[in-house]
Structure 1
Amino acid sequence: MAEVSLAIGGRSYVITCRDGDEARLQHLASLIDAKTQDARRAVPGLTEVRQLLFAALFLADELNDIRTGAIPAAPPAPDPRLADALESLADRMESLVSRLAAVPENA
């Protein structure tokens, strides 16, 4: 088991998770933290518990909108391997074009 430190609402929380889940949990914590900041800006003076409550409500509202189709889900993030494969393919095509350009027309 791994431990990960999550920063939410100006506090740090250390939790135990499965090995390899650390980055995902940190990403999720950053989403929650952003919503606590939204709550703090919208209603100054909220206690920490109320900030977390509003963050949960904001996230639940977004999830509900996505599930009911009120707003479309964000498209999946592009796979970096695809960009590498396209780059490699472009290099190969440029190489073929260069080789073909070097061949005399009568050949």
Structure 2
Amino acid sequence: MAETTLVIAGRHYAIRCRDGEEAHLGHLATLIEDKARVAQQSTPGLTEVRTLLFAALFLADELNDLKREVAGRQTSLPLDGDDEASARAIEALAGRIEKLRERLAARTAKA
């Protein structure tokens, strides 16, 4: 089992994870940290708990929007038999593309 330290809202959190998951957890922590920074900038003086609450709400809102978008795409796809496997593959690719877009946007925002 591996151990890594995540920095979120200015605090360090030592956590254990499976070997090899450190980079992925670091990436997730960066997403949370970015949202926490937005919360702190838009509402100065937030407590740590409220900062993390707003970061979680921002992320939940984005997730909800993505789920609605995926659901809308699914209802517009005519599927029968073999088409369903193709649709799943396309949705998986769309998810990967969205993650790449988020990473690029995060890097652009930092620059």
Tell me the TM-score normalised to structure 1 length.
0.66
Give the superposed CA RMSD.
Answer: 1.8
List runs of 5+ in structure 1 lacking aligned partners.
78-107
Q: How many residues are matched?
A: 76
SS of aligned partner of 1:44 = coil
SS of aligned partner of 1:19 = coil
More helix by share: 2
Map 1:71-82 → 2, pairs under 5 A: 75=97, 77=100
Q: Find the counterpart in structure 2 of residue 3 from structure 1.
A: 3
- Report how far residue 73 of structure 1 moved: 5.4
Tell me which amino acid in the other structure corresponds to 1:5. Answer: T
List runs of 5+ in structure 2 lacking aligned partners.
71-93, 101-111
Tell me the TM-score normalised to structure 2 length.
0.64
Cα separation, partners in 2 of 1:41 and 1:73, compared to 1, 3 Å: farther
SS of aligned partner of 1:34 = helix
- C-alpha distance after superposition, 1:51-95 (max 9, x if no partner): 00000000000000000018x857154xxxxxxxxxxxxxxxxxx
SS of aligned partner of 1:50 = helix
Sequence identity (%): 58
Map 1:77-96 → 2, pairs under 5 A: 77=100
Large movers: runs of 4+ above 6 Å: none
